Amino acid sequence: MRTPLCDALGLEFPIIGFSHCRDVVAAVSRNGGLGVLGAGGLDADELHQELTQLDAESHGRPYGVDLVIPAKTLGDDPELLAAQIPQEHRAFVDGLYERFAIPRPPDPRSAKEAWRVRGRRRASEQVDVALAHRPALVACALGPPPSFVVDAAHERGVLVAGLVGAPEHVPYQLAAGTDVLIAQGTEAGGHTGEITTLVLVPQVVDAAAGTPVAAAGGIGDGRQLAAVLALGAQAGWIGSLWLTTVESDLHPAVKDKLLAATSRDTVRSRCRTGKPVRQLRTPWVDAWEEPGAPAPLPTPLQQMLVRPQLEMIARYGVSEPAGSAVGQIVGILREWTSARTVFSEVVQGALDAIDQVKGLIAP
């Protein structure tokens, strides 16, 4: 299975594996795909450390970096942004600490630092660090990539990818100079729109006018990879499938929750970042939908408000509110396994599905 995008990125297989865990990213790249590190929550120094390790662990194979650079921002100053968070919301989150017995951050200043505002100034630092490590691809979520990203990447021969959740997003991405479009259906985990992958991908392929498209959302095995290739995508962008691998750094309590979940146990909610995020439904998520709960704030205020709490939940494995961004393919996750095994099964499953379809053609 080779596509023009595979050739452009130096891949053996049309599989792009997204993860916030460096070990998963390295495993995907070593096995012939493109591992992509989700770096939105890392500052410049942390990103440099992660990519230095990834350079060693990927054994010379290509990898990518995904940066969350919002098209619109309320500003970069944490103090000014924090002043915009209503007391009602602070009191509600304080109540969640008590309700779910969540440990408090040990130092109030550490909570402020953990907000990690995703403004343009910080994004510029991330881009400089990422490109210094010569990734094969830099991906930008939350709108078309800024010109400073595209220009800097192209100067170094690095491709730029942009996420689209609707066909009308395509012209803006192309005008920005995006090299690869990621058509992400509503089934996907994380920030996602409302159109299903099966409907979205052909429309994006048609609108892309030759620009390669990777399909994201609802790819949990080889049959689904074969399906999006049949729709015109040149690769599958796969994220949730790696969450229950042994390489994943998710807390074991969260992995167990994912393995027990069905495809109906995810929900799109703004409670995590202020934008719609598909995630595992948990009592913490449900609390934001209860009568009397305040409406989630716009990004980045909501993220600033809840991120310290989510980090404490993840750090200590507080089981009741613990969760994760995850797509609807969570319903097929049934065991802990290695990223290599997952990768091999997807490849073989896609080849088998293609052969099955060929067998339907009358001689």
CB 143 within 8 A of CB 70: yes
Q: Which two tokens stand for residue 99?
A: 């309700």
Reduced to 3 states, what is the DSSP secondary structure of residue 198?
helix
pLDDT of 34 reads 98
A 10 A CB-CB count for 103 gives 12
Which of 35-39, 72-76, 195-199, 253-257 is predicted least confidently?
72-76
For residue 121, pLDDT beyond 70: no
Q: Which pLDDT band holds residue 112 (cuts at 50, 70, 90)? A: very low
What are the angstrom distances between the C-alpha of 183 and each of 62, 71, 104, 160, 186?
A: 21, 18, 39, 14, 10
Report residue 355 as tokens: 């052969």
Alpha-carbon distances of 313 from 19, 40, 208, 226, 287, rounded to whole Å = 19, 19, 41, 37, 15
pLDDT 10s digits, 61-111: 999 999 977 666 656 677 788 889 999 999 999 999 999 999 998 865 544
- Superfamily of domain 4-72+117-242+338-352, CATH level 4: Aldolase class I (3.20.20.70)
C-alpha to C-alpha distance for 72 and 143, rounded to whole angstroms: 9
Q: What angle do CA 299, 302, 306 make, to 5 degrees?
A: 145
Q: What is the pLDDT of residue 75?
A: 62
Nearest residue to 182 via CA among 208, 156, 157, 209: 208
Q: 22-30 vs 44-57: helix axis angle to the nearest 10?
A: 30
What is the overall mean pLDDT for the chain?
A: 92
Cα 42 from Cα 19, distance rounded (Å):
13
Domain boundaries, the chain: 4-72+117-242+338-352
DSSP-derived 3-state class of residue 120: helix
